Amino acid sequence: MKAPFFVLTAASALAACSNDTPETNQVALPVGTQIADNGVVAAPPQGSEPNIPVATGVGTAFGLTKRQLEDAELLGANNAELAEVERTTTDAQGNVNGLVVEIDAEPDRTVLLPLHGLEPVSVNGQWHLRAKTLTREQLLTLPEVKE
């Protein structure tokens, strides 16, 4: 009967001595902090509240309103412009389900872009959408939209 008591006591002692708590390796970053693929951290200026998109409801996506989406540019992983958002597409309930974007090419090409893989990003105070894995070449292969 003493063996189970010893094992329980030893396990409790080891757990009490452990310094590894879930919070040990976590760092709290200010809201709005962005970490680039190369590890560079860009934090918002001290004392300023970050401008985080918070629009919700029908006609919104990524926390952005329809107007913000239609004013956005589509950026690549390095924030280079890939295309310009022309308009949103919606389902029967009015939920945004895609974007019609214009690619600057000879001649210009307008394609339908699904929302998957996009994220909002603020550049110089204006919201844009970044496609982290989409290239210009891949964008050119998407279904063309006739205006």
Tell whether pTM > 0.85: no
Residue-level pLDDT at 137 = 92
For 99-144, what is each residue's pLDDT tens digit? 999 998 888 899 999 999 999 998 888 899 999 899 999 999 999 9
Residue 129 confidence (pLDDT)? 95
Q: Mind giving me the DSSP string for the chain?
A: -HHHHHHHHHHHHHHHH----TTTT--PPPTT-EE-TTS-EEPPPTT---------STT-BTTB-HHHHHT-EEE-TTS-EEEEEEEEEE-TTS-EEEEEEEE--SS-EEEEEESTTEEEEEETTEEEEEESS--HHHHHTSPB---
